[in-house]
């Protein structure tokens, strides 16, 4: 969904629409694995991702092994520190050949 046309909105509406000072950010990740993973190996990798990285940082992710989107679990935004920690954690996994993490972007509206 694209961002609605820019016009004056009340604070309550900006909060509800998550625009202006209430805008929320997240980032995408993409992985290339060294070799094909069995479903059990994919699940084990994702379990570690959630347990070791997402939960301690109060983050949530949509997607699966090869790609996904990470944002704050509750209202709020993922931070640059979260983005860098995700990049480092993914790159350190033995199954991962290459890990790419995007810049922070609006979690609710597609740009362009």
64 falls within a domain: yes
Give residue-wise pLDDT tens across range 61-102.
999 999 999 999 998 999 999 999 999 999 999 999 999 999
17 falls within a domain: no
Q: Which two tokens stand for residue 60?
A: 């949530």
Instruction: Confirm whether pTM is higher than 0.85.
Output: yes
**Domain span holding position 35:** 27-106
Judged by phi (left if over 0) then psi (alpha if -120 to 50, else beta), residue 47 lies in: alpha
> The CATH number of the domain where 89 resides is what?
3.30.70
Task: Please state, in angstroms and as integers, the Cα–Cα distance from residue 104 to each residue in 10, 33, 51, following that order.
Answer: 26, 23, 22
6 falls within a domain: no
112 falls within a domain: no
33 falls within a domain: yes
21 falls within a domain: no
Closest CA to 37 of 67, 66, 62, 70: 66
How many domains are contained in the chain?
1
50 falls within a domain: yes
42 falls within a domain: yes
Question: Which pLDDT band, with edges at 50, 70 and 90, does 4 fall under?
Answer: low
């Amino acid at each position: 969904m694209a961002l609605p046309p820019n016009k004056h909105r009340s604070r309550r509406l900006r909060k509800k629409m998550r625009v202006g000072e209430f805008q929320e950010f997240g980032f995408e990740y993409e992985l290339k694995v060294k070799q094909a993973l069995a479903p059990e190996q994919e699940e084990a990798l994702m379990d570690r991702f959630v347990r070791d990285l997402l939960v301690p940082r109060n983050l949530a992710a949509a997607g699966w092994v090869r790609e996904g989107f990470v944002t704050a679990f509750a209202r709020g935004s993922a931070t640059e520190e979260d983005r860098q920690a995700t990049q480092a954690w993914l790159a350190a996994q033995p199954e991962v050949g290459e890990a790419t993490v995007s810049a922070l972007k609006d979690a609710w509206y597609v740009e362009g």
